[in-house]
C-alpha cells in the first residue's frame, strides 16, 4: 500500500502530507556538528532522528540526497557575533592547526556515529571548503540592499528586511522581542541595530582562520554556510531542513532571512526540529558544561553513570521518545531501555527457532500496517516500538507452547521485525564487548593447537608443522610445554 507520510513543519506549526518537490528525489539538509570536542548525547539525538527520516524515506522508495554539514569555521562562542571561533580557540589551547582539531574530532565523531548505526549522509560538506559560495551569498544580499558593510565586516540589516518580509516567522518572535533580548556585545558599535547579524567578519590580526574577500581578510558568519551549501547541493528549493530545536533561533531564522534576501524566497519546504536531551530538566550541551560524551557512555567512565551503556541502548533510549518530545537522562531510564532492548532482541532470536503449526491460535493483528501508521504519523518511533513489544508477547506465548502460529504468520512477524527493527529503527544485535571477542578468538587458537597435539600424537608431522607454521606466520609465538602448549600473540 502507498504510504501517506505526515511531517510536522515547525514553520506552519502543523503536520502536513509530505509531497516532495521532485519525486522520487528528496533533498534533505541537516545541520551537523561543530567539530571541536567529542560528540555527546546531545549530538546523538539529531543524528539518530534524521537517520530515521533518511532510512524511512529511502524505504518508501525515495532517492534521498542527505546533506549534513561539518562546521569547521565561523561558529563563535556564545553562538552570537562575539567571542573567539570555537575551533580556533581549541587549536590555540592545544597548539594545533585548526584543521588538525577538525580532523581529529571529525574522525571520532564518525566512529561514534558508526557505533550508533547512524548511516553516513550522501554529502558531508565542510564550511571551510565553501568560502567562495558564502562570499557569493553575502554579495547577493548586499546587492539586494539587505546588508551593509562597516569596517570590513558585513551585517545583515534585519530592520530593513523586516519592512519587506517577516523576520521571526520560524521562531514566532518579532523584531522587538529580538532587540529586547539582544545583549550589548563586541562589535555591536559596528551594527546599525543590535538584532543585525554578521554575514562576514573582518579578522583581527591574531585570528588564524581567514580568507580574502571583497570587504576584508576575514571569515563568514556562522549562518551563511548552511544557506550556501544547502543551495549548492540541493538547489534553490529543497524538501527538508532539519536540526535541533536550539537552532530555530537564531540559526535557522537567519538562514530563512538570508535565503529570502538573496533569492526572494525560502529554500526550504519542511522545517523539522528534534527536541533536546536534558539532565535534571536543563539542556545538555558542551557550552553548558553538563554533557556526557558518547565514549563515556560506551565505557561507563563518567561520574554520573552507574554503568556502561552500549551504543544500541543509547539508540533505543532516544527512539523510545518521539523526536519532538524532550528526553531526560537518568541511569534508571537507560537501564529500563537496556532491559527493553534485550527483550526485543531475545524475541527475534526465539522467533527464528519457532516451529510453524498447521493453524494460528493467536492473532498477530495488522502489525505491519500499525507500524507503518506510526511511522507515517511524523515518525512516531515510540509507537512502533510498542507494537514490536506486543509482537514480543505473542512470540513468548508461542515459545512457551501456550499458543501456536502458522508458517505464514511466522514469516510475517519475521518480516516485520527485520523491516522495522533492523532497517527502519536501525537496531541491531550487538556482538559483545571487545573482551568477549578476544576470549572467543583465543578459544579458536586453543582449538587449532589441540588439533596439532592430536596430529603429533598420530605422528602426522605434516599437519602438525602446517598448523605451527601458519600460526607463526600470523604472529603467534607457540611453545610446547610439559602439559601441552602455550601461545601468545606478538603484535
Residues 224-263 contacting Zn ion, CB under 5 A:
226
Nearer to Zn ion, 227 or 360 (CB): 227
* Residue list 192-231, contact with Zn ion (CB under 5 A): 226
Instruction: Name the minimum Å distance from CB 251 to Zn ion.
Output: 6
Q: How far apart are CA 89 and CA 289, in angstroms?
A: 16
**CB 122 to Zn ion: min, Å:** 17
Q: What is the edge-to-edge ordering of all strands in the sheet holding 218-220? A: 147-150, 153-156, 197-202, 218-220
Q: Which is nearer to Zn ion, 226 or 261 (CB)?
A: 226
Q: How far is the CB of 88 from Zn ion (least distance, A)?
A: 19
From first CA to last CA, the distance across the chain in angstroms is 55
* DSSP secondary structure string for all residues of 57-75: HHHTT-EEEEEE-BB-SS-
In whole angstroms, give the CA distance from residue 212 to residue 120.
32
How far is 335 from 69, CA to CA, in rounded Å? 33
Give the three-state DSSP class for 224. helix
Name which of 229 and 344 has its Cβ closer to Zn ion.
229
421 near Zn ion, judged by CB under 5 A: no
- Shortest spacing between CB 422 and Zn ion, in angstroms: 30
Tell me whether residue 260 or residue 351 sits nearer to Zn ion (CB atom): 260
Q: Which residues contact 386 (CB under 8 A, 6 or more apart)?
A: none
Q: What is the DSSP string of 320-363?
A: TS-TTS-EEE-HHHHHHHHHHHHHHHHHHHHHHHPPPBSS-SS-
What is the Cα–Cα distance from 33 to 82, expressed in whole angstroms? 19
Q: How many chain residues touch Zn ion (CB under 5 A)?
A: 2
Among 30, 31, 106, 425, which residue sits at the site for Zn ion (rule: CB under 5 A)?
Answer: 31
Query: Residue 267 or 375: which CB sits closer to Zn ion?
Result: 267
- Residue 51 C-beta: closest distance to Zn ion, Å: 17
Segment near Zn ion (CB under 5 A); pick from 28-36, 52-60, 96-104, 472-480: 28-36
Q: What DSSP string runs through 266-288? A: -SEEEEEEE--EEETTEE--TTT
| Nearest CB to Zn ion, comparing residues 31 and 341 | 31
Q: Which stretch binds Zn ion (CB under 5 A): 30-38, 127-135, 375-383, 393-401?
A: 30-38
Q: Minimum Å distance from CB 336 to Zn ion? A: 34
Looking at beta carbons only, is 268 or 424 nearer to Zn ion? Answer: 268
Closest approach of Cβ 235 to Zn ion, in Å? 17
Which H or E run includes 27?
Answer: strand 25-30
Smallest distance, Å, CB 313 to Zn ion? 29
Residue 231 or residue 387: which is nearer to Zn ion going by CB? Answer: 231
Please answer whether residues 198 and 141 qualify as being in contact, where contact means their C-beta atoms are separated by less than 8 angstroms.
no
Asked if 101 is part of the footprint of Zn ion (rule: CB under 5 A), the reply reads: no
Residue indicated by cell numbers 608431522: 461
272 lies in the site for Zn ion, by CB under 5 A = no
Which letter does DSSP use for residue 8 in this model? Answer: E
31 or 64: CB nearest Zn ion? 31
Shortest Cβ 26–Zn ion spacing (Å): 19
Residue 36, burial from CB neighbour count under 10 angstroms (0-12, 13-18, 19+) = buried
Residues near Zn ion (CB under 5 A): 31, 226
Amino acid at each position: 500500500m502507498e504510504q501517506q507520510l505526515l511531517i510536522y513543519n515547525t514553520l506552519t506549526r502543523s503536520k502536513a502530507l509530505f509531497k516532495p518537490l521532485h519525486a522520487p528525489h528528496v533533498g534533505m539538509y541537516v545541520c551537523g556538528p561543530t567539530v571541536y570536542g567529542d560528540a555527546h548525547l546531545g549530538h546523538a539525538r539529531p543524528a539518530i532522528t534524521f537517520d530515521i527520516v533518511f532510512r524511512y524515506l529511502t524505504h518508501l522508495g525515495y532517492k534521498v540526497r542527505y546533506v549534513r554539514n561539518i562546521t569547521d569555521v565561523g561558529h563563535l562562542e556564545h553562538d552570537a557575533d562575539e567571542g573567539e571561533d570555537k575551533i580556533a580557540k581549541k587549536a590555540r589551547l592545544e597548539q594545533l592547526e585548526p584543521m588538525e582539531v577538525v580532523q581529529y574530532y571529525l574522525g571520532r565523531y564518525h566512529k561514534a556515529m558508526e557505533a550508533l548505526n547512524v548511516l553516513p549522509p550522501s554529502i558531508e560538506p565542510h564550511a571551510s571548503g565553501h568560502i567562495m559560495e558564502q562570499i557569493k551569498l553575502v554579495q547577493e544580499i548586499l546587492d539586494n540592499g539587505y546588508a551593509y558593510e562597516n569596517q570590513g565586516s558585513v551585517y545583515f540589516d534585519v530592520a530593513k528586511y523586516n519592512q519587506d518580509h517577516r523576520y521571526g516567522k520560524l521562531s514566532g518572535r518579532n523584531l522587538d522581542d529580538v532587540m529586547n533580548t539582544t545583549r550589548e556585545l563586541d562589535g555591536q558599535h559596528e551594527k546599525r541595530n543590535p538584532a543585525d547579524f554578521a554575514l562576514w567578519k573582518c579578522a583581527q590580526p591574531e585570528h588564524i582562520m581567514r580568507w580574502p574577500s571583497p570587504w576584508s581578510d576575514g571569515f563568514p558568519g556562522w549562518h551563511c554556510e548552511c544557506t550556501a551549501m544547502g543551495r549548492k547541493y540541493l538547489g534553490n528549493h529543497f524538501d527538508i531542513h532539519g536540526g535541533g530545536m536550539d537552532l530555530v533561533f537564531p540559526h535557522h531564522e537567519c538562514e530563512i532571512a538570508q535565503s529570502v534576501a538573496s533569492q526572494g524566497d525560502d529554500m526550504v519546504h519542511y522545517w523539522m526540529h528534534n527536541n533536546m536531551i536534558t539532565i535534571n530538566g536543563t539542556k545538555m550541551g558542551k557550552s553548558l558544561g553538563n554533557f556526557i560524551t558518547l565514549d563515556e557512555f560506551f565505557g561507563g567512565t563518567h561520574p554520573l553513570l552507574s554503568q556502561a551503556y552500549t551504543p544500541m541502548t543509547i539508540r533505543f533510549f532516544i527512539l523510545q521518545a518521539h523526536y519532538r518530545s524532550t528526553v531526560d537522562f537518568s541511569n534508571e531510564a537507560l537501564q529500563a531501555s537496556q532491559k527493553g532492548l534485550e527483550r526485543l532482541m531475545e524475541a527475534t532470536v526465539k522467533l527464528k527457532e519457532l516451529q510453524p503449526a498447521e493453524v494460528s491460535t493467536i492473532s498477530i493483528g495488522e502489525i505491519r500496517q500499525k507500524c507503518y501508521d506510526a511511522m507515517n504519523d511524523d515518525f512516531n518511533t515510540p509507537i512502533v516500538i510498542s507494537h514490536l513489544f506486543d509482537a514480543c508477547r505473542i512470540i513468548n506465548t508461542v515459545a512457551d507452547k501456550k499458543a501456536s502460529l502458522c508458517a505464514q504468520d511466522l514469516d510475517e512477524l519475521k518480516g516485520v521485525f527485520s523491516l522495522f527493527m533492523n532497517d527502519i529503527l536501525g537496531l541491531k544485535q550487538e556482538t559483545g564487548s571487545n573482551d568477549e571477542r578476544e576470549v572467543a578468538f583465543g578459544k579458536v587458537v586453543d582449538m587449532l593447537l589441540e588439533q596439532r597435539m592430536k596430529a603429533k600424537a598420530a605422528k602426522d608431522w605434516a599437519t602438525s608443522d602446517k598448523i605451527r607454521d601458519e600460526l607463526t606466520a600470523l604472529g603467534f609465538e607457540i611453545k610446547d610445554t610439559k602439559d601441552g602448549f602455550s601461545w601468545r600473540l606478538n603484535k
